[in-house]
């Protein structure tokens, strides 16, 4: 068996094209465009690359973007002041603070200061809590991107065994909760999980977000498993790789995502999706929240 490779790059392109149309319709009908503000603190090279990508995506679909670059020594008070100004600006529909933040900044206070209605990353405690009750204002972009990939390929999670490797607040935990709302039976594994393979072998759908290259090898999965690799790791030779032994596992899986070109482009597309959704809400064209099970 050789797995069908899920082309996240192509699916994300389709989503961007659909968003571009919605943006143009908004410009024609209402004379406005969605606006996304991105705050970047310091000069972390990986963060700079991510932010540049997000700004380029906005340009492609016609979303207005504003990049606010602040020095690494910026104070927490100044950062909060910037967020307050963006919260009050009606031209800004989405606010994203690029993580990680320098050690002297208290991340939670920053994320909690972003208006819930503009929290397009979905990291505000209110949005995180909404996942648990099954309502969402903004689903977090990476888990939402994974869900969209599965939908696109017609992979139903209802009643299936889903194993999520990685339990972070931004990927593993929210994804597990979102898939539970779709009636999957979900198991979450993490660093302290003993004998990871005894869980991964049970998976109909395996999602890996650990940040460990080569963590999943063919012996750890059943024939026919759907494998979604969220990991992004830079090898010493500069190549980017996921958490899955792609060449080995693809011989056994039914579907697999490549890295790069799988989940990464979907994360970026879902940020655009959340931003236009936010702008459409200000026009009363969308409900204030959605049932996760209906996404
Ligand atoms: P993170 O905050 O470091 O969390 C990693 C999670 O994996 C933790 O829950 C950790 O367990 C668990 N883990 C680590 N080693 C493990 C092992 N050997 N076996 C089982 N579990 C293990 O990372 P993250 O932000 O969630 O990101 C995870 C990966 O996804 C990274 O490679 C990151 O670059 C990538 N990522 C990709 C996208 C995308 O768009 N494709 C978006 C975000 C992140 P503990 O909780 O016990 O520490």
Summarize pLDDT for 152-201 with one digit per residue, the tens. 999 999 999 999 999 999 999 999 999 999 999 999 999 999 999 999 99
Residue 61 CA to ligand 1 center (angstroms) comes to 30
The alpha carbon of residue 165 and the mean position of all alpha carbons in its chain are separated, in whole angstroms, by 16
> Is residue 38 within 6 Å of ligand 1 at its C-beta?
no
User: Looking at residue 290, what is its pLDDT?
Assistant: 87
> Residue 87, SS3?
helix
> Is residue 128 within 6 Å of ligand 1 at its C-beta?
no
**pLDDT cut 90: percent of the chain above it:** 97
Q: Are residues 179 and 103 in the same domain?
A: no
Residue 147 CA to ligand 1 center (angstroms) comes to 18
Who's near 12: CB < 8 A, 6+ residues apart?
145, 265, 266, 268, 269
> Is residue 230 within 6 Å of ligand 1 at its C-beta?
yes
* Whether pTM exceeds 0.85: yes
Domain contains 128: no
Full domain range(s) for residue 195: 141-264
Count of domains for the chain: 2
Q: Are residues 97 and 187 in the same domain?
A: no
> Is residue 200 within 6 Å of ligand 1 at its C-beta?
no
Task: Check if 54 is active-site.
Answer: yes
The residue contributing the CA closest to ligand 1 atom 41 is 264
Q: Are residues 71 and 107 in the same domain?
A: yes
Report which of 159, 162, 164 is spatially closest to residue 196, judged by C-alpha positions: 164
Task: Check if 43 is active-site.
Answer: no
Q: Are residues 105 and 186 in the same domain?
A: no
Q: Which of 57, 119, 121, 204 is flagged as catalytic? A: 121
Looking at the CA of residue 171, tell me the nearest atom of ligand 1. 26
Q: Are residues 88 and 185 in the same domain?
A: no
Task: Check if 9 is active-site.
Answer: no
Give residue-wise pLDDT tens across range 102-149.
Answer: 999 999 999 999 999 999 999 999 999 999 999 999 999 999 999 999
CATH number, domain containing residue 69: 3.40.50.10860
Q: Are residues 100 and 180 in the same domain?
A: no
> Residue 178, SS3?
helix
First CA to last CA distance, the chain: 32
């Amino acid at each position: 068996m050789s797995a069908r490779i899920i082309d996240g790059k192509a699916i994300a392109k389709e989503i961007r094209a659909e968003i571009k149309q919605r943006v143009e319709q908004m410009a024609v009908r209402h004379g406005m465009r969605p606006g996304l503000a991105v705050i970047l603190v310091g000069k972390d090279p990986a963060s700079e690359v991510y932010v540049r990508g997000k700004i380029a995506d906005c340009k492609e679909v016609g979303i207005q973007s504003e990049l606010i670059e602040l020095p690494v020594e910026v104070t927490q008070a100044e950062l909060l002041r910037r967020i307050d100004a963006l919260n009050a600006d009606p031209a800004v529909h989405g606010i994203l603070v690029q993580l990680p933040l320098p050690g002297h900044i208290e991340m939670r206070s920053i994320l909690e200061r972003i208006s819930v209605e503009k929290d397009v990353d979905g990291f505000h405690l209110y949005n995180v809590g909404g996942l648990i009750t099954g309502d969402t204002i903004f689903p977090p972009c990476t888990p939402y991107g994974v869900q969209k990939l599965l939908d696109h390929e017609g992979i139903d999670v209802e009643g299936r065994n889903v194993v999520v490797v990685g339990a972070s607040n931004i990927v593993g935990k929210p994804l597990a909760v979102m898939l539970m709302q779709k009636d999957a039976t979900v198991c979450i594994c993490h660093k302290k999980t003993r004998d990871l393979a005894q869980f991964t072998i049970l998976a109909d759908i395996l999602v890996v977000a650990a940040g460990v290259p080569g963590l999943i090898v063919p012996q750890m999965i059943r024939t026919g498993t759907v494998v979604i690799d969220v990991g992004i790791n830079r090898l010493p030779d500069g190549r980017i790789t996921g958490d899955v032994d792609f060449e080995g596992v693809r011989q056994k899986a039914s579907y697999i995502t490549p890295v790069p070109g799988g989940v990464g482009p979907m994360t970026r597309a879902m940020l655009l999706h959340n931003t236009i959704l936010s702008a459409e809400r200000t026009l009363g064209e969308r409900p204030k929240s959605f049932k996760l099970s209906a996404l």
